[in-house]
């Protein structure tokens, strides 16, 4: 419970103490949007790294050199833990917006930081609103901002070796922009917190990045079921790394 309490103090403390920082960032953005984007990115990444340090999370990263550093991409990954966002976002080489559930908009201050970092909020029960969110993601990628989505559509509470079916529409951002899809496979992340709620335990997790996938270069059948294609690649990495944790 000590780790849980320390992390709660860090997160809540940051959100409260960051109120003047948010105001400064807003002011900076009026004159230099790029500088504000970079500072917001680094502030949040450093907070996430502190939280992961307190949690005692040892991360083995594989294939990070495969991620393009100078162009926007679409990250897709399996999703078992709240910590998946912290683990992956803290390693993003550039500005990246995450697709989150619309309920996150109700959390004060946190939602402000998410908006600063180009996160989008998805209404999973409204197809029309969901399409609008995807179109906004396409627009952001075209502006040079990477996006990240967990195509299972929700946090998977099952075994770490299993995944829910990927939603095909979640890959439209890559299909329409031509950007690379970066598959991310995570092992053992639910062992940090979810498997023994409310305790947070030190553990070893593996994050592997796969080779970039370009939809237009795939055979027609794979393009038609791009979600399933990406899921199979991530599943293979998860299976391969299962014995290493």
Domains of the chain: 58-244 (3.40.1130.10)
CA dist 63 → 49, 59, 106, 171 (Å): 20, 13, 36, 21
Please compute the mean of the pLDDT values over residues 133-157 and round it to a whole number: 93
CB-based contact 209:64 (threshold 8 Å): yes
pLDDT at 22: 92
Beta strands 203-209 and 96-101: pairing type? Answer: unpaired
**pLDDT averaged over the chain?**
93
Edge-to-edge strand ranges of the sheet holding 96-101: 57-62, 203-209, 180-187, 73-77, 146-149, 96-101, 120-122
Note if the pTM is more than 0.85.
yes
Q: For residue 107, what are its two tokens?
A: 């959390």
pLDDT at 214: 96
CA dist 179 → 119, 142, 144, 168, 184 (Å): 18, 9, 10, 16, 16
Q: What secondary structure does DSSP assign to 62-78, as a single string? A: ESGGGS-SSS-EEEEE-
Cα–chain center distance at 120: 11
Q: Alpha helix (H) ranges present in 120-210?
A: 127-142, 172-177
Q: For residue 235, what are its two tokens?
A: 């599943």
Beta strands 203-209 and 180-187: pairing type? Answer: antiparallel
Q: Residues in the chain, how many?
A: 245
Listed in sequence order, the residues at least 6 apart from 210 whose beta carbon sits closer than 8 Å to its beta carbon are 63, 66, 182, 183, 184, 185, 233, 234, 237
Short-list 187, 174, 166, CA closest to 148? 174
pLDDT of residue 130 exceeding 90: no
Secondary structure of residue 94 in the 3-state scheme: coil
Q: What secondary structure does DSSP assign to 182-196, as a single string? A: EEEEEESGGGTTGGG
Of 34-38, 158-162, 215-219, the range with the lowest mean pLDDT is: 158-162
pLDDT digits (tens, 9 = 90+) for 51-73: 999 999 999 999 999 999 999 99
pLDDT of residue 227 exceeding 90: yes
Q: For residue 194, what are its two tokens?
A: 């979810």
Rounded to 5°, the CA angle 195-197-199 comes to: 105
CB-based contact 213:104 (threshold 8 Å): no
pLDDT digits (tens, 9 = 90+) for 4-47: 999 999 999 999 999 999 999 999 999 999 999 999 999 999 99
């Amino acid at each position: 419970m000590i780790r849980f309490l320390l992390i709660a103090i860090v997160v809540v403390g940051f959100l409260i103490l960051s109120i003047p920082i948010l105001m400064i960032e807003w002011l900076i953005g009026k004159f230099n949007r790029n500088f504000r984007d970079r500072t917001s990115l680094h502030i949040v990444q450093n907070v996430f790294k502190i939280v992961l340090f307190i949690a005692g999370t040892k991360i083995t990263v594989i294939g990070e050199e495969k991620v393009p550093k100078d162009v926007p991409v679409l990250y897709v990954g399996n999703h078992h833990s709240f910590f998946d966002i912290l683990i992956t976002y803290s390693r993003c080489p550039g500005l990246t917006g995450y697709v989150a559930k619309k309920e996150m908009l109700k959390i004060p201050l946190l939602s402000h930081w998410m908006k600063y970092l180009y996160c989008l909020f998805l209404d999973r029960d409204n197809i029309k609103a969901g399409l609008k969110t995807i179109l906004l993601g396409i627009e952001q990628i075209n502006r040079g901002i990477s996006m990240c989505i967990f195509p299972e559509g929700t946090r998977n509470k099952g075994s770490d070796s299993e995944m829910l079916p990927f939603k095909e529409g979640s890959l439209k951002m890559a299909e329409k922009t031509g950007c690379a899809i970066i598959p991310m496979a995570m092992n053992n992340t639910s062992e940090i917190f979810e498997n023994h709620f409310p305790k947070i335990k030190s553990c070893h997790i593996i994050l592997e990045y796969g080779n970039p996938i370009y939809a237009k270069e795939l055979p027609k059948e794979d393009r038609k079921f791009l979600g399933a294609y990406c899921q199979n690649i991530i599943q293979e990495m998860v299976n391969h790394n299962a014995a290493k944790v």
